[in-house]
Structure 1
Amino acid sequence: MAEPFLDVRGMRKAFGDFVVWEECNLTLEEGETHAVIGGSGTGKSVLLQTVLGLLQPDSGSIRFRGREIVGADPATRAEIVREVGMLFQDAALFDSMTVGENVGFELAQLKLMDRAGIRDRVAEVLEWVGLSGIEDRDPAQLSGGMRKRVGLARALASGPRLMLYDEPTTGLDPITSDVINELIIYLREKTHTSGLVITHDMPSAYKIADRISMLYQGRLIFTGTPEEVQNTDHPVVSQFVHGRAHGPITDGA
């Protein structure tokens, strides 16, 4: 059997006495979009930051396309992570740069292309996200949804094999949220990237994910298809996905 595209095994992460992950086991197949759901403060963002190499787990293994990230030397880690793109929750655009400079930032910093090549690539990925011709605008001139799309264009500019999405629809109205969902699906089909998404937006998770995992008390307690998640009788998962005020999460069971 082929090794998973992304394979997280036995990952533990704590900050002092606070244990975020007790034992994380998660796989992502090539071409798949896998969503991780859970309440605020449960460690969803820590998962993405650890996969991206911004944090190191206390123990465990993270293998991307068969290569170990944990404990890798800086050069190897940088080479692996170069194939990973990330859409940050607030888009994380540089306000001192134009849209075009933001989108082409990594290409310029790593000298992956000459100026003409960067200009053409920026125009291409902005077209993908439906924002052609805005290279000279400042981020302050953009709506929240446009900022998200520019952030997505920047993440895609270097041609990643894996996309990480940190709450891609947070802070957006329902219509704009669905525009982002449709865009994620379109870009997966166009670029054949795999995706790991963290979210508490259940309509978004149901629409974009092939599988959904629930994080609770430091562990992934359930993994299934969107249909299986919606219909599960697991008390914790059911309470969360249906937004019920009473249940094991809030009643302390």
Structure 2
Amino acid sequence: MLEASDLMVFYENNLALNNVHIRCDRNQIVGVFGANSAGKSTLMHALSGIVLDMQKKEMMAGGERITVAGSVRYQEKEVMTVSPSRRAKMGIVLCPERRRIFKESTVLENLKIGGYLASPSQARETLAYVFEVFPALSRLKNRIGGFLSGGEQQMLAIGRALMAQPKILLLDEPLLGLSPLMQAMLMRTTREIRDQRKISIIVSEQYARPVFPIVDYAFILENGSAVLEGTREALMDNPDVRSAYFGV
């Protein structure tokens, strides 16, 4: 469904992604794990097309040169040069790191903004679904986004992404700064969303423990390279993975 091959991203002379290959098939949950600066967010930006906007902005401002090479294919079509807005319309939707909600708008306003790609009937149905899987948001729909807790903001960020009618949802470090209880709840809900909405999902995370139980396949990034990949079971049986990500 979504596949990147020989993907390379340079920030000036700094190699952020080095010949990365990643694939997510229909109705799969794929994990991308790695330490800080491993290249996880750069990968998500490349898959969603955000890196093209970053490249253009830096070029216009005379900032650092961003170079992108390789291939990104979605439903058998090459989308490497397709803009992020066009990719979103095609169904590739990013839920960014650190939530990036509109903090001066209410929960309901944030969700409606996310539904700008949806038809009125789709927006109504998806809004009802978001309130079903995140009932806390229904109770807080008139609350200003900036007054939500970190967990509530993350629920809102995922709900806003769902309003855009994704076929493949990219979750960039959704568990950052959250309690273990909130992390577990969000991962259970992520699996429910895949099962109920038939959405493919790629989750990038530094903390593998809460994510591993829900993934079908995973990739390990180190210094911009994919150094290991496999099914959940195969990686859990790998002593290096257990030592690095589970402390056992």
TM-score normalised per structure 2: 0.85
Q: Are the aligned partners of 1:211 and 1:225 in contact in 2 as well (CA < 8 Å)? A: yes
Q: Please list every run of 5 or more consecutive structure 2 residues that lacks an aligned counterpart in the other structure.
A: 53-66
Percent identity of the aligned residues?
A: 22
SS in 2 for 1:122: helix
How far the C-alpha of 1:117 sits from its partner, in A, is: 7.0
Cα deviation digits, residues 191-249 of structure 1 (max 9, x gap) = 0100111112122221121111111132111111222212214x5x45422448xxxxx
**Counterparts of 2:126 and 2:187 in 1: how far apart (Å)?**
23
Q: Are the aligned partners of 1:10 and 1:59 in contact in 2 as well (CA < 8 Å)? A: yes
Q: Are the aligned partners of 1:126 and 1:132 in contact in 2 as well (CA < 8 Å)? A: yes
TM-score normalised per structure 1: 0.84
Greater relative contact order structure (CA < 8 Å, 6+ sep): 2
**Counterparts of 1:22 and 1:161 in 2: how far apart (Å)?**
27
Corresponding position of 2:72:
62
**Counterparts of 2:19 and 2:125 in 1: how far apart (Å)?**
44
How far the C-alpha of 1:10 sits from its partner, in A, is: 0.5
SS in 2 for 1:202: coil
Q: Please list every run of 5 or more consecutive structure 1 residues that lacks an aligned counterpart in the other structure.
A: 245-253
Corresponding position of 2:64:
none
Computed over aligned residues only, the root mean square deviation of the Cα atoms, in angstroms, reads: 2.1
How far the C-alpha of 1:118 sits from its partner, in A, is: 4.4
Corresponding position of 1:94:
102
Q: Flag the structure with larger Rg.
A: 1
Amino acid at match of 1:199: E
Q: In the TM superposition, what are the counterparts of 1:162-173 in structure 2 within 5 Å? A: 162-173=168-179
Is residue 2:51 matched to residue 1:44?
Answer: no
Is residue 2:38 matched to residue 1:33?
Answer: no
Q: Are the aligned partners of 1:38 and 1:240 in contact in 2 as well (CA < 8 Å)? A: no
**Counterparts of 2:144 and 2:232 in 1: how far apart (Å)?**
38
Q: In the TM superposition, what are the counterparts of 1:18-29 in structure 2 within 5 Å? A: 18-29=14-25
In structure 2, the CA distance between the partners of 1:117 and 1:226, relative to structure 1 (3 Å rule), is: closer
